[in-house]
């Protein structure tokens, strides 16, 4: 389910409660999407300066316009969030509240032309920024069988990765794999009889792995977590984070959540921050029924200062 903006932000109340922005704060939304979280946080603060980062230029423009119509001071950056720390430091700005929602906007998932979903047929693209980088089709058709199997196994945690990679490499010798429907069918075929008893659609993990690979998602998250640590160590010397900044991350699968958890635990152990969430915050039953895409979401947060 989506609203008129094409996307429902997950865990909206919990994000506002944890970050609790105040009047005059600098709010940084590292994954602006359609602007839902940023708008709520800015309204919660009363008056605030908002910096938006997003690789999807169309979504970034939508979010910017959405906030401007509310009279919110907004500064959009069409860039990966790995550039945020440098951008803020160069501008002499320190963030009070930082949010990274690592999920995808519903309008992206529902657009068959983006190639993120096997729910409807479309080109096998999967790029967040459709103007740069290799597509999923390029990876699927050029990777060696071993590279493909390793990608699907390590990034998708798919137990049948070897079988799937073998099926893909055999089939692409006849005809290149260029559409989401064909890839999904090949994965289902590789599953064989197991497809009937699979709790998830057989292609779920393979699509996730390719999407992560195409967009370098885990590398970007690792870089962000290092920037948070570095910012925590530089709070007294003009780093990108205010000395009492709050940082929240919403993850959607174990590879992301594991990294966030380990990083936040280390920050607390090293007395650079305190965890605001001992366990991840999950969507309520009510929210899950209203927005099915909130079901896997896990929210963790820290505040700088020991």
- Cα(85)–Cα(140) distance, integer angstroms: 33
pLDDT at 6: 57
The band of 293, judged by pLDDT with boundaries at 50, 70 and 90, is confident
- Cα(157)–Cα(171) distance, integer angstroms: 23
Q: Residue 67: which residues within 8 A CB-CB, separation 6 or more?
A: 35, 38, 39, 42, 50, 52, 74
pTM, to two decimals = 0.91
The band of 119, judged by pLDDT with boundaries at 50, 70 and 90, is confident
pLDDT at 24: 95
pLDDT at 249: 98
């Amino acid at each position: 389910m989506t609203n008129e903006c094409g996307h429902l932000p997950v865990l909206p109340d919990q994000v506002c409660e944890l970050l609790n922005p105040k009047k005059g704060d600098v709010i940084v939304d590292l994954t602006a999407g359609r602007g839902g979280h940023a708008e709520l946080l800015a309204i919660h603060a009363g008056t605030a300066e908002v910096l938006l980062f997003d690789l999807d230029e169309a979504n970034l423009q939508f979010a910017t316009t959405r906030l401007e119509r509310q009279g919110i001071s907004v500064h959009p950056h069409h860039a990966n969030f790995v550039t945020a720390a440098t951008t803020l430091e160069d501008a002499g700005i320190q963030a009070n509240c930082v949010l990274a929602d690592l999920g995808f906007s519903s309008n992206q998932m529902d657009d068959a032309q983006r190639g993120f979903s096997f729910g409807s047929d479309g080109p096998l693209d999967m790029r967040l920024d459709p103007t740069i980088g290799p597509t999923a089709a390029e990876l699927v058709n050029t990777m060696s069988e071993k590279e493909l199997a390793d990608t699907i196994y390590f990034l998708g945690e798919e137990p049948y990765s070897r079988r799937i990679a073998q099926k893909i490499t055999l089939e692409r010798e006849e005809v290149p794999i260029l559409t989401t429907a064909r890839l999904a069918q090949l994965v289902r075929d590789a599953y064989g009889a197991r497809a009937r008893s699979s709790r998830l659609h057989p292609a779920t993990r393979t699509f996730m792995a390719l999407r992560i690979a195409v967009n370098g998602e885990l590398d970007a998250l690792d870089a962000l977590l290092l920037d948070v640590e570095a910012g925590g160590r530089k709070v007294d010397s003009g780093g990108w984070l205010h000395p009492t900044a709050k940082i929240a991350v919403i993850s959607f699968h174990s590879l992301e959540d594991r990294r966030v958890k380990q990083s936040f635990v280390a920050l607390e152990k090293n007395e650079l921050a305190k965890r605001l969430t001992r366990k991840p915050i999950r969507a309520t039953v009510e929210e899950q029924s209203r927005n099915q895409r909130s079901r896997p979401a896990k929210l963790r947060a820290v505040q700088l200062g020991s």
